[in-house]
């Protein structure tokens, strides 16, 4: 679709763009990688398992005909995130898009969880998002163009019992998105977030059949079902594309109507 106000610009075309997707070898991360690849972007899959990353990159090449590579990275390690950015530059010569999708969840009542549990969730979900964003910022500033898309959560804007580490971490991601969006807007770097609701990822499979899921999660959505992984793709393509050029520090909710109630 060509933008009639700006002739020659195809709003959702990512051809030639280079995107990093952390946590990109499975779940929502892989779904978003596929979405961006379907729009023409070249993809760097980032995760901790080398074999899984390579397998995901192979899928993208075979299905979408784009360039794809993988980089085994612990997003909580600054040196490794900087190596991730360098590997992407070596592979594609540029960094246009970062999707911070790597994340973990440890559930439980506050008096049943340990401080180590809390810190582990915060380290991956918050520190990992910050470090990866930090690693790509110099190149995006040099290009005077970029998109950073953080994967927050509906649980970053509403609460749920027995989720203190996760809700705290995603609330932090929401605020980081707003602050970083303001900081980088002058460099033509748009920072926004997607807030997914209940998707049946590997993270949620353990609770899929529980009364809690039936009553307070899936049962609380307007659509009365789990989200299917491809249903996250449109939001990712949109925020990565020229169509979202006037969005800064926004939270795009994809939750089947859960937070509308």
Whole-structure pTM value: 0.94
Domain hosting 173: range is 18-253
Q: Is residue 104 part of a domain?
A: yes
pLDDT in tens, the chain (261 residues): 555 555 667 899 999 999 999 999 999 999 999 999 999 999 999 999 999 999 999 999 999 999 999 999 999 999 999 999 999 999 999 999 999 999 999 999 999 999 999 999 999 999 999 999 999 999 999 999 999 999 999 999 999 999 999 999 999 999 999 999 999 999 999 999 999 998 887 777 777 778 877 777 888 899 988 899 999 999 999 999 999 999 999 999 999 999 998
pLDDT the model gives residue 1: 52
pLDDT at 94: 98
Segments of 18-145 assigned E as strands: 18-22, 42-47, 68-72, 97-100
Residue 238 belongs to some domain of the structure: yes
Q: Give the per-residue SS3 of 165-232.
A: HHHHHHHHHHHHHHHHHHHHHHHCEEEEEEEECCECCCCCHHHCCCHHHHHHHHHHCCCCCCECHHHH
Longest Cα pair distance anywhere in the chain, in angstroms? Answer: 59
Q: Is residue 11 part of a domain?
A: no
Structural domain includes residue 58: yes
Category of 41 on φ-ψ map: left (φ > 0), alpha (ψ -120 to 50) or beta: beta
Query: What's the confidence (pLDDT) of residue 71?
Result: 98
Please tell me the predicted confidence (pLDDT) of residue 3: 57
Q: Other C-beta atoms within 10 Å of 210: how many?
A: 11
For residue 64, indicate whether it is catalytic.
Answer: no
The answer to whether position 4 is within a domain reads no
Tokens of 66: 């784009």
Q: What is the rounded CA–CA span in Å between residue 181 and residue 49? A: 30
Phi, psi (degrees; rounded to nearest 5) at 141: -65, -40
Tokens of 197: 């609701």
Q: Is 106 inside any structural domain?
A: yes
DSSP string for 100-114: E---------TTTS-
- Position 10 in a domain: no
Look at residue 84 and tell me if it is in a domain. Answer: yes
* Closest of 155, 137, 144 to residue 187, by C-alpha: 144
- Hey, what are 181's tokens? 């969006």
Rounded CA separation 28/140 (Å): 24
Q: How many domains does the chain have?
A: 1
So what's the pLDDT on residue 5?
Answer: 55
Q: What is the CATH number of the domain that holds 102?
A: 3.40.50.720
What are φ and ψ of residue 203, in 5° steps? Answer: -65, -30
pLDDT of residue 56: 97
Question: 64, 92, 166, 226: which one is catalytic?
Answer: 166
> Burial letters for 24-58: b for 16+ Cβ neighbours within 10 Å, e otherwise?
bbbbbbbbbbbbbbbbbbbbbbbbbeeebbbebbe
Residue 221, sorted as left (phi over 0), alpha (psi -120 to 50) or beta, turns out to be beta
Structure tokens, 46:
């980032």
């Amino acid at each position: 679709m060509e933008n009639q106000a700006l002739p020659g610009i195809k709003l959702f075309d990512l051809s030639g763009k280079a995107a990093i997707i952390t946590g990109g070898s499975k779940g929502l991360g892989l779904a978003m990688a596929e979405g961006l690849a379907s729009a023409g972007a070249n993809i760097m899959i980032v995760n901790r398992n080398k074999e899984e990353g390579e397998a995901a990159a192979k899928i993208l090449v075979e299905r979408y005909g784009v360039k794809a590579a993988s980089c085994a990275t612990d997003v909580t390690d600054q040196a490794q995130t900087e190596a991730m950015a360098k590997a992407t530059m070596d592979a594609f010569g540029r960094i246009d898009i970062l999707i911070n999708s790597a994340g973990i969840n440890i559930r439980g009542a506050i008096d049943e969880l340990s401080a180590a549990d809390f810190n582990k969730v915060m380290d991956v979900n918050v520190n990992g998002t910050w470090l990866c964003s930090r690693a790509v910022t110099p190149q995006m500033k040099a290009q005077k163009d970029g998109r950073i898309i953080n994967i927050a959560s509906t649980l970053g804007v509403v609460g749920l019992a027995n989720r203190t580490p996760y809700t705290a971490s995603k609330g932090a991601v929401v605020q980081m998105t707003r602050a970083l969006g303001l900081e980088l807007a002058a460099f033509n770097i748009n920072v926004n977030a997607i807030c997914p609701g209940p998707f049946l990822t590997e993270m949620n499979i353990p609770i899929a059949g529980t009364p809690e899921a039936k009553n307070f999660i899936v049962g609380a959505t307007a659509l009365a079902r789990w989200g299917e992984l491809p249903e996250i793709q449109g939001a990712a393509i949109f925020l990565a594309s020229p169509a979202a050029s006037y969005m800064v520090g926004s939270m795009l909710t994809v939750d089947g109507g859960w937070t509308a109630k």
